[in-house]
């Protein structure tokens, strides 16, 4: 379905409603394009100079075009009231209870995403603008008891699947736009405001990789130039059983050479981090560099990641 329509994978619980809207709108645009294009072509032929050498000051008396315009306006009204507003209300205005969700603070800046987790105590520590430095972009006060277990990352966000995520979004400088294309999430980050946005992921990173995997020929010149962005989609061993490349491992020139020596002519691989955090707002000359990664974990993987991050704090 998504391949047919050119849409990316839907990895969120609400994504199908967004996709339905996109499909309906594009069908409307197709009908309008064909209809008005046909009418324009007809007008060029019907009222060409050879056919109408003298101007007609009365013009067309039919109201067909007016009826069509009214029909299009009514259809757009139904689309707005019957589809768009309910989707907006159900998806973006129905925030989960903070006790049932993972609450994350995201602070945008030129040109990075600063991610702030509350730690095991579930309480966010104090942030102070006077404490902001290159090593402490959030200005987190580690002397605050509530901040001692807080976890911060830059351009690297981990969340568990199946659990509501409540993000409070803000910006340190200009307006940015927090976009997660595979989760159908997009929200502006505005300085001075903490804007909530909620979503629930339904697919893990491994499941997304499995859906996006492609077959690559090992013949010279057929592999992508940057192998470091691809990971193997399955295990590959030599004829005697010696492991060459394990599932999830990054491809490299050495592994490719060993695979060729083992007589393996093609492999299946996918992007290492297919789920990105993008800025959908032109926020400055370095806008193109404002990209982060979103890692979708199982609940167990997410808890293990939190423990690893907490160990660094200790």
Q: Where in the chain is the domain with CATH 1.10.287?
A: 2-92
Domain 102-204+275-313 grouped into CATH 2.60.40.420: yes
| C-alpha–C-alpha distance, residues 84 and 77, integer Å | 10
Residues 44-61 have a mean pLDDT of 79
Give the residue carrying structure tokens 């990075």.
112
Give the residue carrying structure tokens 């996709």.
19
Class of domain 215-269: alpha beta
Q: Which two tokens stand for residue 206?
A: 């491994």
User: pTM to 2 decimals?
Assistant: 0.81
Q: Which two tokens stand for residue 176?
A: 């940015």
In degrees and rounded to multiples of 5, residue 2 shows phi and psi of -70, -40
**Alpha-carbon radius of gyration of the chain:** 26
pLDDT digits 0-9 by tens, 252-290: 888 888 888 888 888 888 888 888 999 998 888 888 889
Q: Where in the chain is the domain with CATH 2.60.40.420?
A: 102-204+275-313
Q: H or E element: which one contains 16?
A: helix 15-46
Q: Where in the chain is the domain with CATH 3.90.105?
A: 215-269
242 phi-psi bin (left φ>0, alpha ψ -120 to 50, beta other): beta
**CATH dotted code for 2-92:** 1.10.287
> Is it the case that residue 223 has pLDDT exceeding 70?
no
239 phi-psi bin (left φ>0, alpha ψ -120 to 50, beta other): alpha
């Amino acid at each position: 379905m998504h391949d047919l329509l050119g849409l990316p994978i839907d990895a969120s619980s609400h994504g199908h409603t967004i996709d339905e809207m996109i499909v309906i709108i594009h069908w409307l645009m197709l009908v309008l394009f064909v209809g008005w294009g046909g009418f324009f072509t007809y007008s060029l032929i019907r009222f060409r100079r050879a056919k109408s050498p003298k101007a007609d000051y009365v013009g067309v008396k039919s109201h067909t075009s007016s009826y069509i315009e009214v029909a299009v306006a009514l259809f757009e009204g139904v689309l707005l009231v019957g589809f768009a507003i309910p989707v907006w209300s159900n998806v973006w205005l129905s925030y989960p209870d903070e006790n049932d969700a993972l609450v994350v603070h995201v602070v945008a800046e030129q040109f990075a995403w600063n991610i702030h987790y509350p730690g095991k105590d579930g309480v966010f520590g104090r942030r102070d603008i006077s404490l902001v430095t290159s090593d402490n972009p959030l200005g987190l006060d580690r002397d605050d008891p509530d901040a001692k277990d807080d976890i911060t990352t830059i351009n690297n966000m981990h969340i568990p699947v199946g659990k509501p995520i409540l993000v409070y979004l803000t910006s340190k400088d200009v307006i940015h736009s927090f976009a997660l294309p595979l989760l159908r999430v997009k929200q502006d980050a505005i300085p001075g405001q903490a804007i909530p946005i909620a979503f629930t992921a339904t697919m893990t990173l491994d499941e997304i990789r499995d859906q996006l995997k492609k077959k690559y020929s090992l013949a010279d010149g057929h592999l992508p130039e940057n192998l470091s962005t691809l990971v193997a989609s399955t295990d590959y061993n030599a004829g005697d059983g010696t492991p060459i490349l394990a599932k999830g491992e990054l491809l490299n020139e050495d592994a490719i050479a060993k695979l060729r020596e083992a007589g393996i002519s093609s492999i299946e691989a996918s992007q290492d981090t297919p789920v990105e955090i993008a800025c959908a707002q032109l926020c400055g000359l370095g806008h193109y560099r404002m990209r982060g990664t979103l890692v979708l974990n199982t609940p167990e993987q997410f808890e293990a990641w939190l423990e690893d991050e907490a160990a660094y704090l200790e």
